[in-house]
């Protein structure tokens, strides 16, 4: 009986916490929707877009280099430790 009451209390607290988290996320989302980051001139928008894409490209290239490094590691590992199937 005690465990059931404790479970119900925990479930109620979890639901309340989840509801508060959803409300706070909606509030911050509404604030972000108000500030769309629009630009008055197309040239300025193009310049900012290029800058954002360059940052993204740098991060993607770093990720690709990491994957290539892991692939080389796997090749070397397989060469050193020959596995039989």
Q: What is the pTM of this model?
A: 0.37
Q: What is the mean pLDDT of residues 16-31?
A: 67
pLDDT in tens, 25-69: 665 555 555 666 677 888 998 998 899 888 888 877 777 777 777
Burial tier of 13 (Cβ tally within 10 Å: 0-12, 13-18, 19+): exposed
Note every long-range contact of 51-58, with CB atoms under 8 Å and residues 24 or more positions apart, other chains counting: none
């Amino acid at each position: 009986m005690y465990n059931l009451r404790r479970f119900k209390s925990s479930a109620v607290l979890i639901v309340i916490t989840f509801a508060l988290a959803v409300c706070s996320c909606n509030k911050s989302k509404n604030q972000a929707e108000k500030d769309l980051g629009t630009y008055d001139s197309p040239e300025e928008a193009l310049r900012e877009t290029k800058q954002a894409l360059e940052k993204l490209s740098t991060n993607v290239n770093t990720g690709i280099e990491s994957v290539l490094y892991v692939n080389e590691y796997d090749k070397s590992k397989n060469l050193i430790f020959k596995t039989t199937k």
